[in-house]
Amino acid sequence: MPRAGVFPCCSSTKSQKPCYTVLVRITVKKDIHILMLEDDVADAELTKFALRKGGLDFSLARVETKDGYLKALEDRPPTLILSDYSLPGFNGQDALDIALEQCPETPFIFVTGTMGEEVAIETLKSGATDYVLKTRLSRLMPAVNRALREAGQRAQHRRAQEQLRESHQQLRALSVFLQSGREEERTRIAREVHDELGQALTSCKLDLSWLASKLPREQKPLIEKTKSLLAHIDSTIQTVRRISTELRPGVLDHLGLSAALEWQANEFQNKTGIRCEVRSALGDRALEQNLSTAFFRIFQETLTNIIRHAGATEVTVHLNEAEGSIRLQVVDNGRGISRSEMDNASSMGLVGMRERAALLGGTFRIGRVNRGSGTRVSVTIPLKTPAQPEANHEDSPSRRPYRGAPRDAANPGRRI
Ligand SMILES: Nc1ncnc2c1ncn2[C@@H]1O[C@H](COP(=O)(O)OP(=O)(O)O)[C@@H](O)[C@H]1O
Ligand SMILES: [Mg+2]
C-alpha cells in the first residue's frame, strides 16, 4: 500500500506560515505474489522464512478455506501457489483442480507434512508442478526457482507463438491486398492495352487501306510498301491481343471459369502438344470474381509445372461443386512428384498456390496419382469465403460496367 505523509520541514518566524514537504513513501509492489493454502500458522511462518532465507522477494496471501482460496484467486492472480495437501473441509487435490481450471499456467507446489510416494506421483500426474515435504524445507527454494523459471519460459514461448500467429495473419492480409491489387492492375492494363492500342491500330489500318486504294497502279513500290505496312499492323494487333490476354483473359470475366479453363487448356494443348481435356460440371455458372481468379491462376501455375517438370502426354481437368465448395482437379500422366518435392518449403510455386487457396478458406493438395505414375493437384475452395478486404479500385472489373462492342475471339468480352 502506498503510504504518504505530510511533514513540516521548516517554519518561518516572520510569516508564521509553516512550509511543508510532502513525502510519498511507496512500497514497491512485489513481482512475485504467492498464494499460500495453509491452516497452520507456524508452518506458514516456517515456509515464509525458508523463502526469505532463499533470497526470494515476494508478497503473500495466506488462506485456509475454499472460499478464501477462490476469493484470493479472483482478487489477485498469483505467480505461484503453495498448498498443504490436507486441509480441514478442503483438500489439496481440489485446490489443484481449481487452479488448473482458473490459472493453468501458474505453478502449483504442494508443501505438505506427509505425502506417500504414490499420492505424490498422482498429484504430479494430475498437474502439480512439484511437492516439498515440510520436514525438508531446504528443498523448497530450488523447487520454487525451477517452477518460476519454467513458468517464465512457458510464458515467453506463448508470447512468441502469439507474435508469430499475429505476424502470419498480417502477412496473409498483406498477401490478399497485394494479390487483389495486382489482379486489378493487370485487368486495367489488359483493358487499356487492348482497347486503346487496339483501336488506334485498327484506325491506322483503315486509313492505310484508304491510302492504298488511292495510289495509282503504276506506283508499284508504294503499293508494296503499304501492303507490308498493313501486314505489320495486323501482326501488331495480334501481339496486342496476346499481351492483353496473357495479362488477364477477358473470357474469365465475361464467360466464367469453365470457359476460361477450356480456353487455357486449348492454348496449352496447341502450344505443347500435350492433350488436355476439361470436364466441367459447372457450365456457365458465374462465381465470385476472387474465387474464379484464384482457380484460374492456380490452373495456369499447374499447367506451367506440367510443362516444366512432368514429362506428361495427357492432362485431365475436373471442375465440380460438392458440399458448398468448388473443386478443381488436374491430373497428369507424367513422372509423378516425390515427397521431398511436395514438402519443400522453398518451392514458391506450390507455396503460392497453397496460400491462394488458404486465403479464401480453401485447401490445395498435390500428390502422386494412386496406382501408376502422374501427379494430381486438387484445390477445394468454399463458395462462402471468409471476409475479404474491400476491393476499392475504381476500375475493379466487378464494378465497371461492360460496354457492348464486337468481341475478340481470343479474348471474348474485350472490344476490338
Ligand atoms: N506436375 C508435376 N510433375 C512432377 N513434378 C512436379 C509437378 N509439379 C511440381 N513438381 C515438382 O515440384 C517442385 C516445386 O514446384 P514449384 O513450387 O512450382 O517450383 P518450380 O516450378 O519453380 O520448380 C518442382 O520443382 C517439381 O520438382
Ligand atoms: Mg512452378
Domains and CATH numbers, the chain: 32-155 (3.40.50.2300), 251-392 (3.30.565.10)
* Strand, coil or helix: 20: strand
Least confident among 14-23, 103-112, 226-235, 341-350: 14-23
For residues 246-260, average pLDDT: 91
Query: Whose CA is closest to atom 14 on ligand 1?
Result: 347
337-346, pLDDT tens digit by residue? Answer: 999 999 888 8
pLDDT of 172 higher than 90? no
Q: What is the mean pLDDT of the chain?
A: 85
Q: What is the pLDDT of residue 133?
A: 92
Single pTM value for the model: 0.66
Ligand 1 pocket, residue 367 CB under 6 Å: no
Q: What is the pLDDT of residue 387?
A: 53
186-213, pLDDT tens digit by residue? Answer: 999 999 999 999 999 999 999 999 999 9
CA-306 nearest atom, ligand 1:
1
CA 277 / ligand 2 centre spacing (Å) = 21
Ligand 1 pocket, residue 308 CB under 6 Å: yes
Q: Using an 8 Å Cβ cutoff, are 377 and 319 in contact? A: no
Torsion of CA 209, 213, 214, 216, to 10 degrees: 130
CA-347 nearest atom, ligand 1:
17
Q: What is the pLDDT of residue 386?
A: 55
Q: Using an 8 Å Cβ cutoff, are 188 and 391 in contact? A: no
**CA-to-CA distance for 261 and 158, rounded, in angstroms?**
45
